[in-house]
Amino acid sequence: MNRGRAVFLVRLALLVGAVVVLEVLCRNGVIDSLAILPPSEMFDAMIERVGSGDLNEGMAQTFSTIGIAFVLALALGTLAGAVLHRVPRLRAVLDPLLASYYSVPTFIFYPLLVAIFALGKTPLVILGMMSATPAVVISTLSGLDGVPPVLLKLARSQRLGRLRTLCWIVLPQALPRLFSGFKLALSYALIGVIAGEFLLSGTGLGYAISFAYQSFDNRAMYGAMLFVLLIAVTANGLLYGWEARLSRRRSRQ
Amino acid sequence: MAGTTPLPARRRRRFDGVALLLVCLVLWQAVASWTNGIAVSPPLVALAYLADLMGQGSFWGHVGATFAAFLMAFVLSAVLGLLLGLVLGVWRFAGEVWEPILAGFYTIPKVTLYPVVLLIAGLGMSAKVAFGVMHGMVPITLLTLASIRNLSPTLLRTARVLRLPPSRIIAWILVPSCLPDITAGLRIGFSLSLLGVLIGEMFSSQRGLGFLLVSGMAQHNVPLTTAIVLLIVVLAIAANTLMLRYLKF
Amino acid sequence: MRGVVRHYAGPPLVHALGPIDLELARGAFFAVVGPSGCGKSTLMDVLCGLAKPTSGSVRFEGKELHGEVPDGIGVVFQEDSSLAWLSVRQNIAFGLRLSWLPKREVQDRVEHAIGFMGLSQFAGHYPAQLSGGMRQRVCIARTLVLRPRLILLDEPFGALDQQTRLLMGDELLRLWRETGATVLLITHALDEAAMLSDRVGVMSARPGRFIDVVETGWPRDRDSRVVSDPHFGELTARLWSSLRPESMKTLGRVA
């Protein structure tokens, strides 16, 4: 327990220290403040941009796109995972594809998607889905594989029907692995959508950053960037904490 | 393993593999026909264009630029990642301090940081390499760290019972038992440094495959974009499959 | 109720079992021992209706089983089958989720089973916090709340250490006496079979069939202390002498 606290405090000190050092170096002119803004000014810029409301439309766009991509990825991914689990032959065929899927940088399809669906929400949703769905498929498969046969026997010996076996045995048993897939899916959808906006689009938070960069408005750029990163860290942190709570009950000795 | 599989099963698997490839090609063709080739070129057109490209010297310049940046990014990621992972794995306290920070960095959209890289490193090779390293190094570090930390204490005790000198412990125990995880890390690092380099080229660069991809779209040169996508997909999958097959321990 | 189980199982594709004839009187404690891989677990699956016999039939209380576990049979598996996401109390109540019993009755049965298996202090714990023996108790309690008239146990103590096993055996005897249920215990441990049961069936190497049935002759009111009785040694010796050639066959086949 004590060690855990020490680790936490050192980590905190490290992060705070890094920010302070950066601030000092920027203020002293060691780092060109045209290239990197002092952290305090980044923070001011973020408050300013969020407060002024000029990010509101971008936020609405980005969050709704990520949300749609995430939900679709969950639905499609769990469905595909369940189907593959039931059809071993199909699974054997698709396994190599799943294993090397993430070695292909998904973003290279984005120009094609834009060409097919025109600039807008659709190609971004699809890019987000393409990044997130396989993670859900993989975790669904591993979750279903992880249900011990004895529990299925138990279900039969208690005369549970299919639906009840699914809801009372299979889903709760597979939940931790499913959840870690969902967590990955959210961060992949987020990365995919924001990167898509950043590379090529006319709306969204990612676009706000690249637009500010192209128009040499560093203050605006850093403000938006800090905002996006804080959102991403918070979202991932929440899911991480939730996952830890979920698995603690099962592994505490 | 292939040697022990009975023949009919092997034949069936090969059949299934070919069927999968055909399905992919048919889907591709269908998308191309559906968009009348305005958005995506059909497979044959893309292949022909790719063959044509390979005859041009300027194309190889782009390939070389991407390859050089990628190679440098990957080697740097591997060296730095292995070293950092080793230090953090052996020095447990530091490992516990750094692991969540690195894991957090792994899940944020790093694209948003690319302008900062550009502002520091300037346009060109070094920005691409730096961005590739930002993507590739973290997974290598994390997996190396985990594999060293999870080293079975029984193995180390056995080594001490056998009174092995430290150099032998490293060569006979540490390296072989950590190798599977480390190669998995290298494989992910390989893919992600390629991704980093390509995104860098797509966003702002005058050279490289990523640049060709975006410029193909800007000039409405659909066969070019399709051909480059095809090339990258095939290369990435081939590299990954080779690594999966031959780097197994 | 004619508390009789009878069964006769023919060979599946891999000839795993039988032919076997077995009749259990109501309230009996029967143990099955056999060399590893002789089809003990297959026997169990067939007996409780999880698997259908290739030929022959299994009857419970006069009704034939059709690939379904009937009401009145409770099963305890060899592997840990506690549900990790439920507390001990919820795990035990799990068996009654499907029943239409009034809430009070469910609560009473669950509390009784918790008390009976000595789990009162751990009712709010999760399986991960318990030892293997405790977890197996949870699984037994989960079967107990169903008030089964026949309890099938497939090497329930296989994963436990010797001392825990002896004590769990006592628990099982107490359970058997107090519930009046018929018990069929499958085990590979000769001492366990000799100490606990009224009758022991010795199975042959695959395809498994009974080569010997031994009456132990213990009084109903017994516990693990019978191990100090000279008769226990004789019993174990007799079991081993019938089993030894079969075990050697299995060993030879594996090697």
Chains in contact with C, counting 3 or more C-beta pairs less than 8 Å apart as contact:
A
Residue contact A157–C69, C-beta within 8 A: yes
Q: Is the pLDDT assigned to residue B8 strictly greater than 80?
A: no
C108 and C197 belong to one structural domain: no
pLDDT at A230: 92
Strand pairing category for C73-76 and C150-154: parallel
Helix orientation angle between A218-251 and B92-107, rounded to the nearest 10 degrees: 120
Spatial distance between the Cα atoms of C203 and C184, rounded to a whole number of angstroms: 14
Concatenating the DSSP letter of every residue in C202-222 gives: EEPSSSB-EEEEEE----SS-
Overall number of domains in chain C? 2
Q: What is the number of alpha carbons within 13 Å of residue B157 lying toward its C-beta? A: 3
Residue contact B229–A35, C-beta within 8 A: no
Contact at 8 Å (CB) between A155 and C69?
A: no
Predicted ipTM?
0.84
Query: Which amino acid appears at position C178 of this protein?
Result: E
Domain annotation covers residue C36: yes
User: In angstroms, how far is the first alpha carbon of chain B from the final one?
Assistant: 14
Concatenating the DSSP letter of every residue in A160-212 gives: --HHHIIIIIIHHHHHHHHHHHHHHHHHHHHHHHHHHHHHS-SSHHHHHHHHH
Residue contact C81–A159, C-beta within 8 A: no
Fold observed for domain A37-251: MetI-like fold (1.10.3720)
Domain annotation covers residue C113: yes
Measured CA distances, C130 to A173, C86, C90 (Å): 18, 13, 15
Residue contact A7–B232, C-beta within 8 A: no
C111 and C234 belong to one structural domain: no
Domain ranges (residues) in chain A: 1-36, 37-251
Q: Is B96's Cβ below 8 Å from some Cβ in A?
A: yes
C204 and C234 belong to one structural domain: yes
Contact at 8 Å (CB) between B136 and B77?
A: yes
Domain annotation covers residue C166: no
pLDDT one-digit tens code per residue, A144-173: 998 988 898 888 888 888 888 888 889 989
pLDDT at C2: 39
Q: Give kind and range of the element (H or E) at residue B105.
A: helix B92-107
C219 and C242 belong to one structural domain: yes
C111 and C9 belong to one structural domain: no
C153 and C246 belong to one structural domain: yes
C112 and C186 belong to one structural domain: no
Domain annotation covers residue C163: no
Q: Is the pLDDT assigned to residue C27 strictly greater than 60?
A: yes
Among the partner-chain residues C75, C85, C126, the one whose CB lies closest to the CB of A157 is C75
C34 and C54 belong to one structural domain: yes
Number of residues written out for chain A: 253
- For chains C and B, having 3+ Cβ pairs within 8 Å is answered no
* Contacts with A11 from chain B: Cβ below 8 Å: 97-98, 100-101
Across the range C34-40, mean pLDDT stands at 72
Q: Containing domain of residue C94, as a range? A: 78-147
Which pair of structure tokens corresponds to residue C22? 């077995």
pLDDT band at C7, cuts 50/70/90? low
Min CA distance, C115 vs chain A (Å)?
A: 22
Residue contact B108–A210, C-beta within 8 A: no
* Long-range pairs of B235-241 with CB within 8 A, sequence gap ≥ 24: B236/A100, B236/A103, B236/A104, B236/A105, B236/B191, B236/B194, B237/A100, B237/A103, B237/A104, B239/A103, B239/B190, B240/A99, B240/A100, B240/A103, B240/B187, B240/B190, B240/B191, B241/A96, B241/A100
Strand ranges across the sheet with C5-7 = C22-24, C5-7, C58-60, C63-64
Residue contact A156–C95, C-beta within 8 A: no
Q: Please classify residue B15 by burial: count the beta carbons closer than 10 Å to its beta carbon, then call 0-12 exposed, 13-18 middle and 19+ buried.
A: exposed
* Contacts with B245 from chain A: Cβ below 8 Å: none
Chains in contact with A, counting 3 or more C-beta pairs less than 8 Å apart as contact:
B, C
C20 and C103 belong to one structural domain: no
Q: What is the DSSP letter of C184?
A: E
Residue contact A173–C50, C-beta within 8 A: no
Q: Is B186's Cβ below 8 Å from some Cβ in A?
A: no
C45 and C92 belong to one structural domain: no
Number of residues written out for chain B: 249
Among the partner-chain residues C48, C77, C94, the one whose CB lies closest to the CB of A150 is C77
Report how many Cβ contacts below 8 Å link chain A to chain C. 59
C205 and C224 belong to one structural domain: yes
Spatial distance between the Cα atoms of A83 and A101, rounded to a whole number of angstroms: 19
pLDDT one-digit tens code per residue, C74-125: 888 888 888 888 888 888 888 787 777 788 888 888 888 888 888 888 888 8
Q: Which residue of A has its CA nearest to B224?
A: A112
Contact at 8 Å (CB) between A178 and A143?
A: yes
pLDDT one-digit tens code per residue, C172-191: 888 888 888 888 888 888 88
Q: Is B89's Cβ below 8 Å from some Cβ in A?
A: no
C104 and C226 belong to one structural domain: no
